[in-house]
Amino acid sequence: MTDAHRILEGVRDGSVSVGEAEAYFRRKPFEELGYAKLDRHRGDRQGFPEVIFCSGKADSFLASIYQRMAEADGCAFGTRASAHQFEVVREVLPEVVYDPVSRILKLEKKDREPGVGKIAVVSGGTADIPVAEEAAQTAEYFGASVERVYDVGVSGLHRLLSFTEEIQKANCVIAVAGMEGALASVVGGLVSNPVIAVPTSVGYGASMQGLSALLTMINSCANGIAVVNIDNGYGAGYIATQINRLAVRKDGKEQ
């Protein structure tokens, strides 16, 4: 459900005044900060609010962006944040939460609804978990229910096969793996729903910082596999959520 839909529902049930609704729909398409233009209409256009890519941003810029988004939306979600950036943002938003594994820095709405549908996030090894968690937490933030199945790479195929039934129940599967990246092909051969393959930069020299896994996944002989960029857990989580929403709507449960 988009924010615009919630506003209209609020007007109908009396929880939102006509004046508040009018102010919402009079919002400018973006908020000009000089160093950034916050896309206020993205949630209405795409169904997902704008996300902050934290890496490389000046401390003062990042703190201001988080503060403005929190004030306007009551939430903010950022990827590739450092521990230092967490401390900077926490100065202006004490309730912000940081996960050092996925490097996600987020402020969630207090009244957020439970996740719907089901996305399975599968990782080849423990070293792939940072990227897998970026994918999983992105999907959860955007309203999906996520099942994690970690460290089930092809070097011990029995581990993956013991979770086959659970993985097959998912509306979409995210397969995260480095080294040779064979996990995506194996998963693709086990499930009927889409698989999003995420190559990681985990591996020895000939893995070429994830290029080997990327090429393996692109050349997969299994059907129904799409591939995102190396280490792009966020992109996989976003696409998986879109697929999951379509499945939820098909079941008659509007998200």
Distance CA 142, CA 96 (A): 17
Dump pLDDT digits (tens) for 138-157.
999 999 999 999 999 999 99
Q: Could you tell me the sign of the dihedral formed by the alpha carbons of 114, 116, 118, 119, in that order?
A: negative
Residue 72 to residues 5, 13, 30, 59, Cα–Cα distance (Å):
17, 22, 12, 20
Reading the chain (255 residues) residue by residue, the pLDDT tens digits are 566 677 778 878 888 787 777 666 666 676 667 788 777 667 667 777 789 999 999 999 999 999 988 888 888 999 999 999 999 999 999 999 999 999 999 999 887 788 899 999 999 999 999 999 999 999 999 999 999 999 999 999 999 999 999 999 999 999 999 999 999 999 999 999 999 999 999 999 999 999 999 999 999 999 999 999 999 999 999 999 999 999 988 776 544
Residues paired with 148 in a beta bridge: 121
Q: Would you state the structure tokens that stand for residue 165, as one six-digit string? A: 């039934």
User: What domains are defined for the chain?
Assistant: 3-107 (no CATH), 116-250 (3.40.50.1970)
E strands, 136-202, in order? 144-149, 172-177, 195-199
